[in-house]
Each structure stands twice: as structure tokens, then as C-alpha cells.
Amino acid sequence: MSDASQTLVYSEDENLLCELIGAAGAFHRPVAALVTSPSAEQRAAEAGANLVYRVEHIPAGTLSEDVLPTLAKLVHDSLFDVVLIGSTVRGRLVAGRLAARLNTTALTDVKSFTLESGSITIRHMIFGGGAERVERSLSPAVILTIGAGMFDAPPAQPGRKAETTPLEFVPPEKQAVLRERKALPPASVNLAVAKRVVCPGRGIAKQEDLAMVNDLARALGAEVACTRPLSEGLGWLPRERYIGISGANIKSDLYLGLGVSGQVQHTVGISGSRIVVAVNRDANAPIFEQVDYGIAADLYAVVPALIQALREH
Amino acid sequence: MNIIVCLKITPDPEDLEVGRDGSISTERAEWTIGGFDLPALEAGVRLVEAHGGKVIVLCAGPAEINNSKIKKDILSRGADELYTIVDESLRHAGTARTAAVLAAAVQKLGEVDLVLSGEGSADLYFQQTGVQVGERLGWMTINAVSQIEVGANGALAIQRTLEQEIELLEAALPAAIAVTSDIHEPRLASMREILKAGRKPTFEWSLAELGVADLPETIDILKVEAPPRVARKQVMIEGSPEEAAKALLSHLRKEGVL
Ligand SMILES: Cc1cc2nc3c(=O)[nH]c(=O)nc-3n(C[C@H](O)[C@H](O)[C@H](O)COP(=O)(O)OP(=O)(O)OC[C@H]3O[C@@H](n4cnc5c(N)ncnc54)[C@H](O)[C@@H]3O)c2cc1C
Ligand SMILES: Nc1ncnc2c1ncn2[C@@H]1O[C@H](COP(=O)(O)O)[C@@H](O)[C@H]1O
């Protein structure tokens, strides 16, 4: 990697694009952004991108992933040696396909990275959060994916302009045809900002029993979250309510786990909570190694008692 | 329709051991099929049940993946054939190497219409390998697919679940598709399938047989360690449910979190 080269950033999500520009600042070299819309062009310029490549003449019905051949050509022609891609579903597809074309490994969901004597070293999670791995890239071109909220976007400089280069859209050889697009129901909660969180796990035997959990949450003024199996396997609660490596991270004052075993893929999401409490009938459940207060008992006895005690107070 | 399903066999993440010095060991972990890969197998088996053809499973990894119990488990869940690609260099391989090896195996098998992979492997969960395999093959490649049907024109009708929306897409074959973990609940094998599994063919390939023995590695793993842990008070509250409830609330009031 030569010090004269530039960093390229791409995300179809404009907020994340600005965060990538912020992250790329750490390399202390020019940052270029690839954009596909005038609004993204403006956001990138205001976030401090030195150069903006704006893809033009994108045919109607094009999926945002179809930018891949244009991106690959740009990386090839302009000799970009670091590419940062926003880790959304679409971004992960673009990153993987670009990595395959460059015959390299995309380093995914990086938590931190350093550039030292010409090589990039990154840190990211493996085992669903059970461990962190530090890796050095051995490739001439490095692709990193970065999730939302990992790095700060630079403060916007309203009205700032960047040097813009138009790029002709390179049509992909193979394209999926978009038949329909449906918005998912709007998220019912933003757990990231909840003050108190009550989190049922598989210790809840039946869906009806969630009524008792809801009552407790109401009495505590808490949001209801859950572990992944309650959402993805059983479908009792929407996806945005599960906490963990593949779900939400909370920063609440209180987390109260009810029948949660404490597998690391879940507990990485609660490390930001100030006080962690768990009720689990198994005194040896791993969750108890990670609590401030624990009650080793049947949640079906403790939850009604908690509701009662809150009412009496 | 012939379908290849890529399944990663890994140390069970629940068996991870964390040493006092923050070191991580999988030495005593049991090896299992990734929990997020099994829905891909289920999706493949259902497509073949509905449209004919066969399901071939591909697993790449170090010698531990040659485990007869796991192989039987895979074959009892509806797969017709199993190919393992065993090499020590696959233990800590970057996704580029793993994808190149799997793509080479798909090519060698030939006559394949669809390659399915899971949402993410149980040990790495990078959500990369499947899409890299598709691109290396030069095929239509899509991730986060939560429903697959075969349309009247022979193309796939696909539902894809993104952060805020669902997309309905039409994709021509051959295609490589990474599915979501909730595309299907994986089946439990019946007694009949378990008995049948023992008679199904399994094959083992070396990297040399696939012509990928000399791939350069793209990453150098420097360190694996436990994530920093938040120190917690670990106060266990005893007594009857009523006493415990009252005691907990009084602690929480003192903490100022109520
Ligand atoms: C790559 C990967 C990513 C993952 N991502 C996530 C994620 O983001 N979020 C997530 O949550 N999970 C995730 N998981 C799944 C995770 O590993 C665990 O399987 C899951 O968190 C366990 O959920 P649980 O604690 O509700 O269930 P279980 O592990 O089944 O635990 C249930 C607990 O309830 C207790 N219990 C039972 N009955 C009672 C009772 N009457 N009273 C009190 N206690 C009772 C039991 O003692 C047990 O400890 C992931 C897994 C992998 C491999
Ligand atoms: N060594 C492997 N052998 C077979 N399939 C694999 C292997 N590694 C990854 N896969 C497949 O690729 C998907 C994504 O893996 P990963 O990029 O590691 O999260 C997994 O869900 C598997 O379907």
C-alpha cells in the first residue's frame, strides 16, 4: 500500500456513509466517496469527503447492489487500496462480491483498525461476541465493513462542496428483477435509548405468559425486549426487540432478564447497561456471572411478586 | 434442480472456554453443524422435494469435520450426498480461501443450479463466504433471502428481508443464495431417515484434487482474546419470592434506577 493512495467509502445508507468518512479520517489521507444520488453527494461533501464520484445514468429499477461493477471498475482504475463499506444487508453483499473480484477477504464489522508501516490491522468479534480477533490484512487492497454507530460522522459543514467526478454506470451482467418492495412495519421500539428493559428468554413457557412480563414492564416503566429465539424461532416478538450480537445493543439504567441463560451472543448486547439483574431457576446459569443482582428462583413466582411489590410501594 | 448446500462444521460456540488471562480455547468444544446453516439445508431439501433433483452438501474444514456422527446427522436431514474437503489450512482460513475452495468444488461437481449457504457460520458469523462463492462462480448472487420459490418460467421468485423493507425479486438460475436463519425451521430426522443416512454416499476431496492447493492466505491472525468484561456486583438475593422481590426493589431504588 502506498501512502499516496486514497481511501474509498461507499454505503447506500447516507448516515452510515458519513460515519465511514469519519472512520476513514484516521488514515490521514484523502477520502473519496462513491455516491448514487444528489443528496448523498451533498452529505458526503458536507461530511468532509475530498473527492466525490457520482454514478450517473442509473437505469430505473436498478437495485443499489447493482453498483458493484461500477465500484469494482473505480477501485481498479483509480488504484484505491482501502475500501470502507457500510455493513448493511446490501453492503455485506457488495463487500463480499468486491472481495471475490479482488481475490481478497473482506474484513467485516470492524470495531477498530490501525494503519502501521503500510499494513492494516483490525479487531472484530468472532463466536458471536464470545471472542475478539485481531487480524492483519496481507492483501494489496483491503476491504473493511463497518456497522452503523461504530464511528462518529464528522460535524457537517453546511454548504461545503467537494470536487465531484461523474462516473458512467457500468451495467451488471446479471441482474435480479425487482417485482415489489414492501416496507416492514415501522419499528415499535428503539431499545438503544430505553431507560429500563425487561427481557424474557426461553424460560417463558408459553406466549400467553408474556402478558405477565408486559405487566411487570408497565409497572417498572420499562420496554420489553427478548432473546433471539423468542423472536426468530418462536416469532412471539418482533425482530427489533431482541438483544445481542445480531440484534440490539442497550445502554439502559436497568436490564432485567427473566429466564435468560446468558449465552454470550445475547449478553454482548447488555454490556452497556448500568445495572444487570437476572431471574433464573438454575443457580448455575452463566447469566449469574454477569449480574449485579440475581435471584435463583422460578420466574413464575418472582414476576408476580415483583408486580405486587411495585404496586404496594 | 440440483442444489448444493454449504454447511460449516465448527466448534460449538457454547463450549468456548475463557481462561483467567482472557485466553480463548475451543480445545474441549464439541464440533457441530452451524445452527444458522441448517435452515439453508432445510430450504434445499424442500425445493428438491417439490421440484426433483438432489441435494449435495459441501463442508470444508480441518480434520475434525470428518466426524461420522455429524455426517450421519447431515444425511438424515434430507441431503442425498455429502462432500467434505479437508485440509489443515482451512482451520484459520480467511473467507477468500474458504470461498475459493468451495467455488472450486461447485465447479468440479458441475450440473448444479443453485448454491445455498446459511446466514452466517457459527464460529465467525462474517456473513461473507456464501456471497463470495457466488461471485467467484460468476453467478447471480443474493443474500438475506427469506423465501425461495420456483416460478412458472423456471426462474426463482425470491423474498429478501432487509433492515426496513422486504423485496420480492426474480432471479435466473444458476444462482447462489445466502438465506436468513428463519427461512425454515430445520427438521428433526425421522428414524427412517436416520437408517437411510448410513447408506448414502460420502466423498472426501483434498485441495490438490480441486486444484486449489497453493492459494495465498489473505489474512494473518495475530490474536484471539476474550472481550473486555464489565465488572458486576454479583449479589445473589435469597428468600421466598416475596422477600426476594422486595429486597431486589430496595437494591434498585438505592442504585437509583427505578
Ligand atoms: C452466531 C450466533 C448469533 C446469535 N445471536 C444472538 C443474538 O443476537 N441474541 C440472542 O439473544 N441470541 C443469539 N444467539 C443465540 C444464543 O446463542 C442463545 O441460544 C440464546 O440467546 C438463548 O436464549 P435464552 O437464554 O432465551 O434461552 P436458553 O438458553 O434456552 O435459556 C433459557 C433459560 O431459562 C431458564 N428457565 C427455564 N424455565 C425457567 C423458569 N420457570 N424460571 C426461571 N428460569 C427458567 C433456564 O434455566 C435457562 O437458563 C446467537 C447464536 C449464534 C450461534
Ligand atoms: N468451511 C465452510 N464449509 C462449508 N460452508 C461454509 C464454510 N464456511 C462458510 N460456509 C457457508 O457460508 C456461510 C457464511 O459463512 P461466514 O462468512 O463464515 O459467516 C455459512 O453460513 C455457510 O453456509
Residue A190 has pLDDT above 50, yes or no: yes
How confident is the model at residue B47, as a pLDDT? 98
Ligand nearest to the CA of A212: 1
Residue A3 has pLDDT above 50, yes or no: no
How confident is the model at residue B230, as a pLDDT? 86
Burial class (CB in 10 A: 0-12, 13-18, 19+), B69: exposed
Cis peptide before A186 (omega within 30 of 0): no
DSSP label of A283:
T
Instruction: State how far the Cα of B124 lies from the Cα of B140, in Å rounded to an integer.
Output: 24
pLDDT tens-digit map of A229-257: 999 888 999 989 999 988 899 999 999 99
Residue-averaged pLDDT of chain A: 94
Instruction: State how far the Cα of A232 lies from the Cα of B186, in Å rounded to an integer.
Output: 13
pLDDT tens-digit map of B214-258: 999 999 999 999 988 889 999 999 999 999 999 999 999 999 999
User: Nearest Cα to A268, choosing from A116, A105, A127, A88?
Assistant: A127
pLDDT tens-digit map of B93-132: 999 999 999 999 999 999 999 999 999 999 999 999 999 9
Would you say the CB of residue B122 lies under 6 angstroms from ligand 1?
Answer: yes
Q: What is the pLDDT averaged over residues A67-94?
A: 96
Residue A101 at interface with chain B, using a CB cutoff of 8 Å = yes
pTM for the predicted model, two decimal places = 0.91
Residue B135 at interface with chain A, using a CB cutoff of 8 Å = yes
How confident is the model at residue A185, as a pLDDT? 81
Residue A152 has pLDDT above 70, yes or no: yes
pLDDT band at A276 (very low <50, low <70, confident <90, very high): very high
CB contacts, 8 Å: B18 with chain A: 130
Ligand 2 atom, smallest distance to B5 CA: 23
User: A with B: how many residue pairs have Cβ under 8 Å apart?
Assistant: 246
For the record, the C-alpha cell of A42 comes out as 451533498
How confident is the model at residue A1, as a pLDDT? 44
How confident is the model at residue B79, as a pLDDT? 98
Residue A152 at interface with chain B, using a CB cutoff of 8 Å = no
Q: What is the pLDDT averaged over residues A106-133?
A: 93
Q: What is the pLDDT averaged over residues A273-293?
A: 97
Residue A2 has pLDDT above 70, yes or no: no
pLDDT band at A4 (very low <50, low <70, confident <90, very high): low
Q: Which residues, 6+ apart, have CB-to-CB distance to A96 below 8 Å?
A: A106, B95, B127, B128, B129, B130, B131, B132, B135, B141, B143
- The Cα-based distances of A219 to A198, A201, A223, A280, B38 in angstroms read 11, 19, 11, 20, 40
Q: What is the pLDDT averaged over residues A107-127?
A: 93
- The pick from A206, A234, A266 for probing ligand 1's pocket by mutation, whose C-beta has the most ligand atoms within 8 angstroms, reads A266
Residue-averaged pLDDT of chain B: 96
Helix (H, G, I), strand (E, B) or coil at B37: coil
Helix (H, G, I), strand (E, B) or coil at A59: coil
User: Nearest Cα to A50, choosing from A22, A31, A23?
Assistant: A31
ipTM for the predicted complex comes to: 0.92
Q: What is the pLDDT averaged over residues B51-80?
A: 97
Looking at A270-284, A291-305, B29-43, B217-231, which range is the least confident one? B217-231
